[in-house]
Amino acid sequence: MSQTSSFEHQNILVTGGAGFIGSHLCESLLRDGHRVICVDNFSTGEAKNIETLLQNANFRFIRLDVNQPFELESFAELAAFKLPYQGIQQIYHLACPTSIKNFDQFKIQTLLSNSLGNYYILELAKKYRARILLGSSSVVYGERQDGTPLVGEEEKGIVDHLTPRACYDEGKRFSETMFETYRQVHSLEIRIARIFRTFGPRMPLFDGQLIPDFILNALDGKDLIMYGGREFRTSLSYITDVIDGIVRIMEAKEYAGPVNLGSDVDLPLEDVANKIIALTGSSSVIVDGENFEFLSELALPRIDRAKELGWFPLVRLEDGLKQTIEYMKANKLLLSNV
C-alpha cells in the first residue's frame, strides 16, 4: 500500500526536475508544502530553471543520471528528509531528453531513459512503495490520422519503430508497458499522464521550440521561422494547466488508465505566429524553415477522462502567450546570451 497519506509532509521525487515541465512541477509541490527531491543531469534541463528554489529548506537538488544505478540514501544532503524512516511517498518520472534541433545528439540517452532509467526508478518506487507517475507523451498515438484529429486513451496508436525518432516515440510506448507491468507484477500504484504540446516560460531556446523562438525573434524584429511548414497544426496548453493536471492524476484515488492532458483545440501554427507578432508589436515576418525529424503534426486529445478528475485547460492561448512574452521580456538580456 502507498504511503501517500502517512505523513503530513510528503517526500516527493521529481526526475527531470530541472526541465521545463519538471521545474514548474517542483515549484507547485513546494507551494503545497511537500519536501521535493529534484533529480536531473542537465542533458536538456537548465540549472537556471531551479535557481530560485535552491534556498527553500524543503527542496534538494541531486545531479545524477537516472540511467545509472544510484542510492538516494547515500546523499548526505538528503539527511533532513529522513529517507530511512519516512522513505518517499510519490515519484514523478519526467526524465527523458527532449530536443528538436539536437535530437540526434541524445538518441542513446533517450533510448536508455525509456528502458534502464525506467527500471531504476520503478525499482525505487517498489522499495519505498511509492506511488509513481510517468510523464508520457502524445507521441504514443503516432501522427494524426485522416478523418478526425482527436484521439482517446483507449485508441491504439500507429508508430513506426524503425524511424529516426523511434527511440522517443516507441520508447514512450515501452515506458508505459514497463509501468503497467510493474503494476501487474508488484502491485505498484502507477499513474500515466499523456502530455500533449505545452508552452510557457522556461521552454528551451534556440532548439526549434516554436513558441519561445517565435517570441524571442519577434522581440528582436527577426523573421519567425516556420519549422514544419506553414500548414503545420497543433494543440497548445499553458504550463500551469498541465501542472494542475499532472498533480490531479497523481492524487486520483483510483487508477483508470492513462490520461490525456492537453488542449483539444486545433491551431494553425501560422495563426499563433501572427498573434505573437501582434502582441509584441513586432515588424517581423513569417518565413518557411527546415522540417526537423522530432517536430511532427500530432493528434489532438480527447480529454473526457481528465474532465472526470475535475481538470480542464483554463488559460486562454492569448493569456498564456502574454505571460510567456512578459517572461521573455524580463529575461531577454540573459536569454539572448544563452
**Where in the sequence numbering do the catalytic residues fall?**
168
Q: How many CA atoms lie less than 13 Å away from 238 in the CB half-sphere?
A: 16
Partners of 199 in the beta sheet? 238
Kindly write down the DSSP assignment for every residue of 70-96, as one continuous string. --GGG-GGGGGGTHHHH--SEEEE---
148-180 burial string, b = 16+ CB within 10 Å, else e?
ebbbebeeebebeeeeebbbbbbbbbbbbebbb
Distance CA 237, CA 239 (A): 6
The strand order across the sheet containing 90-93 reads 59-63, 35-40, 11-15, 90-93, 131-137, 190-195, 259-261
For 155, residues 6+ apart whose C-beta sits below 8 A from its C-beta are 141
**52 backbone φψ class: left, alpha, beta (φ>0; ψ -120 to 50):** alpha
13-48 burial string, b = 16+ CB within 10 Å, else e?
bbbbbbbbbbbbbbbbbbeeebbbbbbbbebbbbee
Q: Name the pairing type of β-strands 267-268 and 233-234.
A: antiparallel
- Which H or E element spans position 253? none
For 230, residues 6+ apart whose C-beta sits below 8 A from its C-beta are 270, 286, 288
DSSP-H helix ranges across the chain = 20-31, 83-86, 107-112, 118-128, 166-186, 210-220, 239-251, 269-280, 304-307, 317-330, 332-336
